[in-house]
């Protein structure tokens, strides 16, 4: 089952970040093995690209408190990524739930990403994450 929605519907609920800068050109297409052949992962006929962006866990107040390892992210449109900045989905979003180690995980493909708005939750790297 794949759920199609828009970034606007997920505003404030889903943020991404990378510790390292990443050029758009380095975001290779995702591949998988099928019948002994390597195939390119596509969505609506468009290739899905890998990214170093990681989904962030948010607390009840919307504060980013760590990485959500049960969410994988793919991009339809490659995007230059700056390390340490927050990003959010832009445009259409496809969410596919699946089972991973006995838990529900999510494969999320976004049309594109953009820097999170200035009112997005903040986070810090290192230090105390208790408050």
More confident residue, 100 or 122: 100
Query: Can you point out the beta strands (E) in 12-119?
Result: 16-17, 31-34, 37-40, 42-43, 46-47, 54-58, 64-67, 71-75, 86-100, 103-115
Specify the pTM: 0.84
Report residue 63 as tokens.
Answer: 């504060």
Every domain of the chain and the residues it spans: 3-115
Q: What is the pLDDT of residue 131?
A: 42
- Per-residue pLDDT reduced to its tens digit, 22-38: 999 999 999 999 999 99
- Per-residue pLDDT reduced to its tens digit, 62-96: 778 889 999 999 999 999 999 999 999 999 999 99
Cβ–Cβ < 8 Å for 40, 52: no
Nearest-10 Cα torsion for 4, 79, 61, 11 = -40
What is 3-115's CATH number, 3.30.1380, 2.40.50, 2.60.40, 2.30.30?
Answer: 2.40.50
Residue 60 — very low, low, confident or very high, per pLDDT cuts 50/70/90? confident
């Amino acid at each position: 089952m794949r759920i199609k929605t828009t970034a606007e519907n997920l505003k404030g609920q889903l943020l991404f970040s990378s510790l390292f800068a990443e050029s758009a050109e380095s975001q290779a297409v995702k591949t998988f093995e099928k019948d002994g052949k390597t195939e390119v992962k596509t969505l609506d006929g468009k290739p899905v690209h890998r990214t170093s962006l990681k989904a962030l866990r948010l607390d009840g107040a919307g504060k980013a408190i760590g990485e959500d390892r049960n969410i994988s992210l793919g991009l339809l449109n490659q995007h230059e990524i700056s390390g340490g900045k927050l990003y959010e989905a832009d445009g259409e979003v496809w969410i596919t739930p699946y089972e991973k180690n006995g838990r529900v995980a999510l494969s999320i493909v976004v049309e594109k990403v953009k820097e999170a708005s200035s009112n997005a939750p903040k986070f810090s790297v290192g230090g105390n994450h208790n408050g």
